Chains A and B, each alone.
Chain A
């Protein structure tokens, strides 16, 4: 059979343009998302479940939160970081993401629609002396 359109099978210079465009999109989205985030002051976590905020607090205050839905998530804030320590969701991406420690980081469980975001309060002092 003669194919309806035969593709070029070796990389061309124009493929490199596609690579550059994708890389530029990656860098642009990184700058847009992470560039403007406040990174001073104590980090605050915000947890949303199916679009509704269910918990908010400072990262330095240890706490355990359980999310009950179709799946069950155990979220532990140990005073320095926050992580999903246990989940019975099928993908386990939320558990594998590990610990979030800095503003801008987030942990997402897509099956249960849980988002844990760390944001900078921006209210902390720039410098403490004396």
Chain B
């Protein structure tokens, strides 16, 4: 039996978890090693991936948008909202598309999502700055997304393995 209440509760827990991961990775900024705007591990994408497979596309998109809104609200930085929303929504759309290809593993979906996230953020930066200079960062950001996408895909695969023995609802 499908329980809407449990899905809502699970969505709220996953949103809180994604927010926590976003805040946590800000404590260890990758930009200290690779000084480019937008470089990050994308740990919150683990939650997005999990929600996409476990709850479906629409709940996953809702969790993503809620996370972006709350993160900018808590940080008091609404200028960053456009970047996170454009990056996040484009990543979600690409992951929804890649997920349809049954021959791809969670690694391929994660890497595609990480790359799309960077493309979305660069597009948002071009719109905000009114300048295409930031496209010069895209090659490096895409290179980094191969590593971060593999990392988040690996963590997500461990999570899915562990979840095989966990029953969230009935």
Residues of A within 8 A of B (CB): 1, 3-15, 17-19, 22-23, 25-27, 29-30, 32-34, 48, 50-51, 90-93, 96-98, 104-106, 108, 110-111, 113, 115, 117
Instruction: Note all chain A residues with C-beta closer than 8 A to B105.
Output: 7-12, 14-15
Top 5 A-B pairs, shortest CB-CB distance: A96-B35, A15-B108, A51-B130, A26-B142, A30-B139
* Docked pose: A12 CA to B101 CA in angstroms: 12
Q: A1-B167, A14-B104 are in contact. Are A113 and B53 (CB under 8 A)?
A: no
Interface flags, B67-96, vs A, CB<8A=1, else 0: 000000000010100010000000000000
Chosen A-B contacts, 21 in total, with CB atoms closer than 8 Å, are A1-B167, A3-B163, A5-B99, A7-B99, A7-B105, A7-B160, A8-B102, A9-B160, A9-B161, A14-B104, A15-B104, A18-B104, A19-B146, A22-B115, A34-B136, A48-B129, A51-B131, A91-B37, A111-B77, A113-B129, A117-B131
Q: Is the CB of B108 within 8 A of A106?
A: no
| Additional A-B contact list (8), CB under 8 Å, known A18-B98, A91-B31 | A4-B55, A5-B99, A12-B103, A26-B143, A51-B129, A108-B133, A113-B128, A117-B133
Q: Does B24 contact A (CB under 8 A)?
A: no
Q: Cβ of A15: which chain B residues have Cβ within 8 Å of it? A: 104-105, 107-108, 111
- B13 within 8 Å of A (CB atoms): no
Note all chain B residues with C-beta closer than 8 A to A5: 53, 99
Expressed in whole angstroms, the Cα–Cα distance for A12 and B109 within the complex equals: 11
* Complex alpha-carbon distance, A117 and B105, angstroms: 40
Q: Specify the chain B residue showing the minimal Cβ separation from A90.
A: B77
Q: B135 — which chain A residues lie within 8 A by C-beta?
A: 29, 32-33
Q: Is B20 an interface residue (CB 8 A)?
A: no
Of the residues B53, B56, B138, B166, contact of A7 by C-beta under 8 Å: B53
Please, which residues of chain A bring their CB within 8 A of the CB of B170?
Answer: 1
**CB neighbours of A96 from chain B (8 A):** 31-32, 35
Cβ contacts under 8 Å, A18 to chain B: 98, 104, 108, 111-112
Please determine whether B54 and A27 come into contact, CB atoms closer than 8 angstroms: no
**Per-residue CB proximity of B131-166 to A under 8 Å, as 1/0?**
101111111101101100100000011001101001
Choose among A10, A90, A115 the residue with the greatest number of B CB atoms under 10 Å from its CB: A115
Assess the A115–B31 pair: CB atoms within 8 A: no
Q: For residue B115, which residue of chain A has the nearest CB?
A: A22
State the Cβ distance, A27 to closest chain B Cβ, in Å: 7
A5 vs B130: C-alpha distance when bound (angstroms): 41
Q: Is the CB of A14 within 8 A of B133?
A: no
Q: Is B14 an interface residue (CB 8 A)?
A: no
With known contacts A33-B138, A51-B131, A7–B146 Cβ distance under 8 A: no
Given contacts A9-B161, A18-B108, A29-B142, whether A4 and B103 have CB atoms under 8 Å apart is: no
